[in-house]
Amino acid sequence: MNTGRLFALAGMVLVATIVPQLGVDAAPALQTVTLATTAAGQSGYLASLIETRGISREHGLKINHLFMDFTEAANALRLGRAMVSMMQPSTALNLRKGGTDVRLFVAQIWSGNAFVVRKDAPYKSFTDLKGKKVGNFSRVTGAYFFSAVIAKERGLDIEKDFQTIPAETGALIALLERGEVEAINMFDPHITKLVLSGKYRVLLDFDTELQRIFGTPPLKTGMAVLKETTEKQPELVRAVRAAYLNGIKVIKSGQDKEFFESKAKEFFGLKTPEEIAASMKRNRDNFADADVWGAAFFEGQNKILQKGIALGLLPSVGNLNDLWLK
């Protein structure tokens, strides 16, 4: 073999060795984000969709999930264990009152709550329940807070004008099924299951009612970060927001049909085709539109929060406008 061919062969081997390495080095590194959210329900479903569909990677992110409940997620953000956390606006106010300055930067899920009664119950409106036994969540929850605001707007006091029985989800459903209460405050997919049974109906939908009053449904959860994160890592916050918005767009457009059907039991405890079909529509409706973030949304949510403050259910933290990252 002549010298020229030897040099050529050596050059080819060198290029073959270097080019793949250059390709690896040229690939942009993913930014790691630790994010606290629930493992089940709508928040868990959205997190799984974003990860499974590769949406987080498309936005340059590697999301490490910490799966926990609402309170734990808020504490994870406060203690620095998580960079991003799902967050109820009411929880954000309590954190700020305690000295942890947080910012909500994307809307995720409307309340999805409703007062449910037996199908044959005589009640035609929420005010007909005055003086009756009503099952409700504990006083510290967003679901209770929303019900208190609705009662106030109807000229009622949720604590004085009803015989309230506080309980958790399973116990509330059992109370209604045994006839020990006339109505319960409940959320999906449990509402859908109850209605599909043919034994129950929705008396008042929280989102519809508060949309009528305040021009916006009440936000159950958004995503939040510390104020200092918005200042030091604004591009990372924008990337997380973009990933979540893309995931929500997939759901709102119905492009998650097969994914929902495959995950319906895991995330929502759904089994029958009827439950899955009905809950898929409710799931789609309960997610906030990707373009909702704006002045009208902020104003409406602030009015709802101000009602909670006036009722003594939420702490007063001054100007609410900077709660939302513009």
- Say if residues 182 and 123 touch (Cβ distance below 8 Å): yes
- Say if residues 212 and 116 touch (Cβ distance below 8 Å): no
Rounded Cα–Cα distance for residues 260 and 253 (Å)? 13
For residue 6, what pLDDT is reported?
Answer: 40
CATH topology of domain 31-110+219-323: D-Maltodextrin-Binding Protein; domain 2 (3.40.190)
Asked whether the predicted pLDDT for residue 311 surpasses 50, the reply is yes
- Of all helices (H) and strands (E), which one includes residue 204? strand 200-205
Average pLDDT of the residues in 103-128: 97
Q: What is the dihedral of CA 176, 42, 297, 313, to 10 degrees?
A: 50
Rounded Cα–Cα distance for residues 184 and 194 (Å)? 11
For residue 20, what pLDDT is reported?
Answer: 46
CATH topology of domain 113-214: D-Maltodextrin-Binding Protein; domain 2 (3.40.190)
What is the pTM assigned to this prediction?
0.87
N-to-C CA span, the chain: 69
Average pLDDT of the residues in 20-49: 82
Asked whether the predicted pLDDT for residue 40 surpasses 80, the reply is yes
Single-letter amino acid code for the residue at 44: G
Q: pLDDT band for position 110 (50/70/90)?
A: very high
What is the phi/psi pair of residue 261, to 5°? -60, -35
Q: pLDDT band for position 16 (50/70/90)?
A: very low
Rounded Cα–Cα distance for residues 105 and 102 (Å)? 10
For residue 14, what pLDDT is reported?
Answer: 42
Asked whether the predicted pLDDT for residue 246 surpasses 80, the reply is yes
pLDDT tens digits, one per residue of 147-198 = 999 999 999 999 999 999 999 999 999 999 999 999 999 999 999 999 999 9
| Lowest mean pLDDT segment, chosen from 1-15, 38-52, 201-215 | 1-15
Kind of pairing between the strands at 61-67 and 31-37: parallel
| Token pair in block for residue 240 | 């997380």
| Lowest mean pLDDT segment, chosen from 13-17, 38-42, 94-98, 166-170 | 13-17
Kind of pairing between the strands at 219-226 and 183-187: unpaired
Long-range contacts of 47-56 (CB under 8 A, 24+ apart): 48/263, 48/267, 49/247, 49/250, 49/251, 49/256, 49/259, 50/243, 50/244, 50/246, 50/247, 52/259, 53/247, 53/250, 53/259, 55/243, 55/246, 55/247, 55/250, 56/243
For residue 10, what pLDDT is reported?
Answer: 42
Q: pLDDT band for position 8 (50/70/90)?
A: very low
Greater model confidence, 318 or 207: 207
Average pLDDT of the residues in 10-39: 64
Report the chain's mean pLDDT, rounded to a whole number. 91
For residue 15, what pLDDT is reported?
Answer: 42
Asked whether the predicted pLDDT for residue 306 surpasses 50, the reply is yes
Asked whether the predicted pLDDT for residue 138 surpasses 60, the reply is yes
Q: What angle do CA 137, 145, 134 make, to 5 degrees?
A: 40
pLDDT tens digits, one per residue of 250-265 = 999 999 999 999 999 9
Rounded Cα–Cα distance for residues 20 and 177 (Å)? 64
For residue 290, what pLDDT is reported?
Answer: 87
Q: Where are the domains of the chain?
A: 31-110+219-323, 113-214
Q: Do domains 31-110+219-323 and 113-214 have the same CATH topology?
A: yes
Candidates 101, 91, 33, 37; CA nearest to 242 is 33
